[in-house]
Amino acid sequence: MPTDILMPALSPTMEKGNLAKWLKKEGDKVKSGDVIAEIETDKATMEVEAVDEGTLARIVVPEGSQDIAVNSVIAVLIGEGEDAKSALASAGQTTPPQQPAMAAALAGQPSALPHAESPAPKPVQLATPAASSNGQGANRVFASPLARRMAKEAGIDLARVQGSGPSGRVVARDIEDAKSGNGLKAPRAAASALPTTAIAPSMSDQHVRALYEDGSYEIVPHDSMRRTIAQRLTVSTQTIPHFYLTMDCNIGKLLAAREEINAVAPKGTDSKPAYKLSVNDFVIKALALALQHVPDTNVSWTEAGMLKHMHSDVGVAVAMPGGLITPIIRKAEMKSLSTISREMKDCATRARVRKLKPHEYQGGTTAVSNLGMYGIKNFNAVINPPHATILAVGAGEERAIVKNGTIEAAHIMSVTMSCDHRAVDGALGAQLISAFKTLIENPVMMAV
């Protein structure tokens, strides 16, 4: 029977996306694994793959369409020997209830129910490098196409499999474990009784516009990135009890070490140095090691218990047109400064053109937000869940300090640690920022 291709969920939090480009056209043959479209989320542009084989009989959602809800029908696939006309007649009729009119309009058909004698097309998700889904809403399970196929063959409920892939995605090795009874969760309850946190209402659009004279402003519609940032930061400030710890760090030794290291960096065939360390590279390394020195701060709060992380996965805020993104340096405590520098430059470059994959910016155990290059002396950063901390870094500048009763000039950099008081108490947070200060002021300790 005809198969509905649905808008895929590229991450656990994705609700809508933009269909940037079709890489296949109507009438093209499609094989499992073929890249057929490009989907834009609020953070990245991803290529998506077909899971089933067949012929692309109908494109329901044209390229360039925006804010397409996850699980909406975007195309119809038919198998070998199936009638394309019957596929077109039923295209888009399994659209989720929230968007039947839109999908029907895009398909050029009335939004009526299918005739009894016409079998409804079966829905299928697109596969992506990050995640794919076999469910909807809160019960959505993210799994690779191979894992889903293996689970089906083995009669295993994917909802009970503990995923070990990026962002908890179920992968093939998890199904192999599940076959022997390992890594299986308890059966899912029929309904969740977890309380939801109410978000305080804000001024309505009408109230805001009424404060200004008509013609004195223009309305610039929000894109999906700006909406996501607004939602996440609102939730963060309303549900996470923040407190802040500030310290001044003398970075004189760091600047001298940075200059010496960069001066002896090996050069490639193009005569360019293999790396050029920045102050931020030292900050990432120092924070990663500080979390290892104070492991009780390398945590994430959950209602069931504290997640205590073994490695320091440090996210770094990168500004991009329309917002920001936080690529993650994984296991930063184990990496050299030159490796951190190369990874950070690569991630920042790809982030600005939205080419990061979800596992490259989701998760992490802490984050760094550095506004020093803009001359900002100090500021308080908002925690990015599920992190328990974030370090705000100001500009390094010459200031007068008192040393042994004498006033002298020194390069001082102010840093502020935002902490989630549910997970990190005041004294514990103070130990973390003190460990960071010791490392950043004595960079030779980062090589030990």
Q: Which residues are catalytic?
A: 421
Query: What is the amino acid identity at position 111?
Result: S
Q: How far is CA 395 from the centre of its chain?
A: 27
In whole angstroms, how far apart are CA 67 and each of 99, 111, 244?
11, 20, 37
Which of 288, 302, 347, 291 shows the shortest CA–CA distance to 320?
347
Give the span between the Cα atoms of 132 and 145, in whole angstroms.
7
Which 3 state secondary structure label does DSSP give 321? coil
- Measured between its terminal Cα atoms, the distance across the chain in Å is 64
Which of 150, 1, 410, 311 shows the shortest CA–CA distance to 158?
150
Rg (CA), the chain: 26
Pairing of strands 29-30, 54-59: antiparallel
Give the phi and the psi of residue 161 in degrees, each rounded to 5: -95, 130
Give the span between the Cα atoms of 263 and 258, in whole angstroms.
8
**Cis peptide preceding 358, ω within 30 of 0:** no
Give the phi and the psi of residue 250 in degrees, each rounded to 5: -85, 110
Strand ranges, E, within 135-239: none
How many CB atoms within 10 Å of residue 104? 19
CB-based burial of residue 110 (10 Å sphere; 0-12 exposed, 13-18 middle, 19+ buried)? exposed
Q: State the DSSP string of 78-124.
A: E-TT--HHHHHHTTTTT--TTSHHHHHHHHTS--PPPPTTSPPPEEE
Which of 307, 309, 326 shows the shortest CA–CA distance to 317?
326
Residue reference for tokens 């290892």: 292
Q: State the DSSP string of 222-283.
A: --HHHHHHHHHHHHHHHHS-EEEEEEEEE-HHHHHHHHHHHHT--B-TTS-BS----HHHHH
Name every residue whose Cβ is closer than 8 Å to that of residue 65 and which is 6 or more positions away in sequence: 18, 19, 106
